[in-house]
């Protein structure tokens, strides 16, 4: 009985959606998305909510290029099978024009082949894997944020230019995330990689600590310690390297820059001097207190997403990527179809974005589907992160 | 687990008749099976027509529904028929799925052959897991299988196996087209639907016959009264381990089909949530009532979407509400509800 009723509800809602389709399709552009609104990665759901709020703002102000945006976002619970189902629903039932900001490396891997076969643009994915930049094989799929490879390359460049006689030791998480950093760093070091990298120690996520890895890396006599780790292990590595008095220049992967989750548990004294890279403005950083773009973002948050966390990097991220989509839709022009939108997304020439650090822009081209490929280094001063030096570029093309 | 069970005897409704007990029972069972057959034929005709009426997306959803139904059927054999608990069937589902993916993508073997291999492999794994688990009863067994479910995604990520499992990245599978020139008539989604339907029907037939056989009676005797069963000469440990093996085999074959339909396997696809979903499907469908698997599968495929439709922010809460509502209104699942309705109408 209940099953039948819910089936009928599902059928009825499907009818409503399809019935609303043709009428709205005249002037609305349909953008589809999947996000983990539930499950282990549900914190990322804030990104989807921010994007939705921003599109609501655009619609309230008359839309983009004369059209309203219909943003359809479904929960995939960070489960690849669910992502496949929801993506098929978006493409086959809701008939979206483009997919945008689908989140998670496994989920996007699961749908990539299907989406490309269906020829639906699969734009600005929310994942740091490098494999979204393969225009030959997957001409519909593009990344957005700097990939882990790009970040690895950026550290390598800075080390080569600024550290005298570098001897690099790397602690890395043994999965695709860790390997991407290694690839990026080795490619940027080029032929010198073998002589400059004196020690590598992988660790498994199932391990309780990385203390012994840190000790063996120190024994290699390295003066650069590169920590490619997720928050828990990053905190251990920072703490341990400080405890044993290893005076190396320490680099920390961007995924673990959280002050609350990593540097505080590691100890502020132990964390002092750690270097990492950034590309977005940090919501809580006092230097952006008077920044007009951040003021605009705060005003937007207050009006359209009042429940949103203004201290979170996810809401800044969502706003920035939604702005990118707005730009693409404007460029594609009035009455643009999916192909025109894809072309606009893959022909960006130094496009600025208010959420990116000054000097970082977005560029794409026929052989470059990675929009952001520059970052700026920051050093932890014992209280907050401080940006320093020039913007470092690691463009693939 | 003293649960009244239709497949077992013909149920409580038979006793209402005035005729001599054995005859009345036979008549009631006969009448029910005619009704059952009619329902079955109608459902089958509907299932055969469905791919020609609906869009590919719906066909895909119904295929996944059947896949989950097979997995639930497997768990039902273990829990409903044999009275053992499992919170770890997601693990067997994962083993089946990876068997399909590795055979198809690494070894280049046709997808049809992955089913028997996955079935046999999961039977062995299930049987071996069932042997030590024999010492565990009820809630302790549930905990042991819980550990299995939690450990599986981590094993799939381990470096030594990465060459085969693809590590965190998983394995992308190429979707098979319809064979024998059928691809002119059926697209890949329709073909996989019919393929899954055929496998599902075969497995259902197998399960039904198993339950009605001598082995089935032994399994149920163990569930209802293990001491009595043992004193009647039933080798409880062999039967219990076998039940675990067969149950794992069904769920493994479901995983195998699921991988082919989804075209992708990764450790994140087989988290503990999957095991819970299979268990939820079992309880909703009706513990011990085999056809309930379909209704249970419908619940786990559609209700999360319905809940999300109602409210994105409170989807989990609405899902929980539906779950509680069903448990409250139909404490013995859809099977119990149907039996109650039939009993009421028969009066």
What CATH number is associated with residue A83?
3.40.50.2300
Q: Indicate whether A178 and A243 sit together in one domain.
A: yes
Chain B hits for A305, CB-CB cut-off 8 Å, are none
What distance in Å separates the CA atoms of residue A234 and residue A256, rounded to the nearest whole number?
Answer: 7
Residue B250 sits at the chain A interface (C-beta within 8 Å): no
Helical H segments across B225-291, by residue range: 226-231, 236-262, 272-285
Q: How far is CA A229 from the centre of its chain?
A: 16
Q: How many domains does chain A have?
A: 2
Cβ–Cβ contact A10 with B under 8 A? yes
Pairing of β A28-35 and β A98-100:
parallel
Say if A244 falls within a structural domain: yes
Q: Which residue of A has its CA nearest to B261?
A: A81
Instruction: Tell me, yes or no, whether A198 and A259 share the same domain.
Output: yes
Select the residue of A2, A85, A105 nearest B325 (Cβ to Cβ): A2
Instruction: Say if A319 falls within a structural domain.
Output: yes
Chain A residues whose CB is inside 8 A of the B334 CB are 3
For B337, which of A1, A88, A206 is closest by C-beta distance?
A1
Mean pLDDT, each 10-residue run in order, chain A (397 residues): 47 45 60 87 85 94 90 89 91 92 89 91 90 91 92 92 91 85 91 90 83 93 92 90 92 86 88 92 85 93 91 87 94 88 92 92 91 92 88 75
Structural domain includes residue A284: no
DSSP 8-state code for residue A67: B
Mark whether A109 and A166 lie in a shared domain.
Answer: no
**A298 and A258 part of one domain:** no
pLDDT of residue B11: 37
Specify whether A27 is located in the same domain as A81.
yes
On chain B, the residues whose CB falls within 8 A of the CB of A80 are 170, 262, 264, 266, 268-269
Domain that holds residue A296: 2-145+291-366
Considering the domain architecture, whether residues A196 and A240 belong to the same structural domain is answered as yes
Residue of A nearest to B60 (CA): A85
Q: Say whether B170 and A204 touch across the interface (CB within 8 A).
A: no
CA distance A32 to A259: 34
Distance from CA of B173 to the nearest CA of A (A): 9
- The verdict on A304 and A320 lying in the same domain is yes
Contact B268 A204 (CB under 8 A): no
Specify if A372 maps to a domain.
no
Polymer length of chain B: 347
Residues 6+ apart with CB under 8 A from A201: A169, A170, A171, A172, A210, A213, A214, A216, A217
Let me know whether A274 and A155 are in one domain.
yes
pLDDT number for residue A1: 40
Whether A140 and A157 map to the same domain: the answer is no
Contact B204, B36 (CB under 8 A): no
Same domain, A329 and A360: yes
Domain contains A386? yes
Specify the DSSP class assigned to residue B331.
T
How far is the C-alpha of B296 from the C-alpha of B6, rounded, in Å? 17
pLDDT under 70: residue ranges of chain B:
1-33, 159, 346-347
Residues A182 and A233 grouped into a single domain: yes
| Ranges assigned E (strand) in chain B | 171-172, 264-265
**What is the pTM (predicted TM-score) of this model?**
0.79
3-class DSSP assignment, residue A368? strand
- Residues 6+ positions from A263 with CB-CB distance below 8 Å: A235, A238, A271, A274, A380
Residues A136 and A196 in one domain: no
Distance CA B124, CA B222 (A): 21
């Amino acid at each position: 009985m209940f099953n039948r009723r819910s089936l009928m509800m599902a059928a009825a809602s499907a009818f409503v959606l399809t019935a609303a389709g043709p009428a709205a399709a005249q002037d609305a552009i349909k953008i589809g998305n999947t996000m983990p609104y539930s499950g282990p990665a549900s914190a990322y759901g804030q990104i989807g909510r921010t994007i939705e709020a921003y599109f609501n703002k655009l619609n309230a102000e008359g839309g983009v290029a004369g059209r309203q945006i219909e943003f359809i976002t479904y929960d995939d619970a960070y489960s690849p099978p669910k992502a496949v189902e929801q993506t098929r629903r978006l493409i086959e039932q809701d008939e979206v024009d483009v997919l945008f900001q689908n989140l998670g490396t496994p989920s996007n891997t699961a749908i990539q082949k299907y989406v490309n076969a269906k020829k639906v643009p699969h734009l600005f994915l929310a994942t740091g894997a490098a494999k979204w930049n393969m225009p030959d094989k997957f001409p519909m799929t593009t990344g957005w944020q700097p990939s882990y490879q790009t970040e690895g390359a950026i550290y390598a460049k800075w080390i080569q230019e600024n550290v005298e006689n570098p001897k690099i030791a790397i602690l890395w998480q043994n999965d695709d995330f860790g390997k991407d950093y290694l690839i990026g760093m080795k490619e940027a070091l080029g032929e010198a990689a073998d002589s400059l990298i004196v020690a590598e120690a992988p660790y498994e996520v199932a391990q309780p600590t990385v203390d012994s890895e840190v000790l063996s890396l120190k024994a290699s006599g390295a003066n650069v310690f590169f920590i490619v780790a997720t928050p828990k292990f990053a905190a251990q590595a920072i703490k341990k390297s400080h405890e044993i008095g290893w005076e190396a220049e320490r680099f920390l992967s961007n995924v673990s820059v959280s002050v609350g989750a990593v540097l505080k548990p590691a100890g502020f004294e132990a964390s002092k001097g750690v270097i990492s890279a950034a590309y977005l403005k940090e919501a809580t950083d006092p230097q952006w207190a008077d920044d007009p773009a951040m003021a605009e973002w705060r005003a937007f948050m207050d009006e359209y997403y009042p429940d949103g966390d203004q201290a979170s990097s996810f809401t800044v991220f969502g706003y920035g990527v939604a702005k990118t989509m707005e730009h693409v839709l404007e460029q594609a022009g009035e009455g643009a179809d999916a192909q025109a939108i894809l072309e606009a997304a893959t022909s960006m020439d130094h496009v600025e974005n208010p959420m990116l650090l000054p000097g970082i822009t977005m560029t794409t081209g026929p052989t470059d589907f990675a929009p952001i490929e520059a970052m700026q280094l920051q050093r932890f001063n014992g209280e907050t992160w401080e940006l320093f030096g020039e913007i470092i570029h690691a463009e693939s093309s | 687990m003293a649960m009244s069970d239709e497949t077992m005897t013909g149920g409580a409704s038979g006793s209402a008749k005035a005729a001599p007990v054995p005859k009345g029972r036979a008549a009631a069972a006969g009448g029910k099976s005619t009704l059952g057959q009619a329902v079955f034929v109608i459902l089958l005709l509907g299932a055969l027509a469905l791919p020609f009426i609906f869009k590919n997306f719906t066909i895909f959803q119904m295929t996944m529904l059947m896949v989950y139904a097979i997995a639930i059927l497997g768990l039902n054999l273990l829990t409903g028929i044999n009275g053992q608990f499992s919170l770890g069937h997601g693990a067997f589902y994962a083993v089946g799925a990876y068997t399909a993916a590795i055979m198809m993508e690494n070894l280049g073997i046709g997808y049809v052959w992955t089913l028997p291999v996955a079935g046999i492999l999961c039977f062995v794994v299930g049987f071996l897991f069932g042997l030590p688990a024999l010492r565990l009863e009820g809630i302790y067994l549930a905990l042991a299988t819980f550990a299995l479910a939690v450990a599986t995604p981590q094993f799939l990520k381990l470096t030594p196996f990465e060459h085969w499992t693809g590590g965190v990245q998983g394995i992308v599978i190429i979707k098979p087209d319809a064979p024998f020139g059928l691809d002119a008539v059926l697209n890949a989604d329709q073909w996989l639907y019919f393929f899954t339907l055929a496998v599902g029907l075969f497995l259902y037939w197998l399960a039904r016959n198993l339950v009605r056989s001598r082995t089935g009676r032994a399994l149920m005797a163990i569930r209802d009264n293990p001491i009595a069963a043992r004193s009647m000469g039933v080798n409880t440990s062999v039967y219990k381990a076998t039940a675990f093996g067969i149950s794992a085999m069904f769920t493994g074959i479901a995983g195998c089909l699921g991988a082919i339909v989804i075209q992708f396997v990764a450790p994140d696809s087989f988290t503990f949530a999957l095991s819970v979903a299979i268990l939820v499907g079992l309880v909703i469908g009706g513990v011990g009532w085999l056809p309930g698997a379909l209704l249970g599968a419908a619940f786990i495929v559609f209700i999360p979407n319905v809940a999300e439709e109602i409210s994105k922010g409170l989807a989990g809460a609405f899902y929980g509400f539906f779950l509680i509502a069903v448990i409250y209104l139909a404490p013995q699942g859809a099977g119990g509800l149907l039996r109650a309705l039939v009993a009421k109408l028969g009066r």
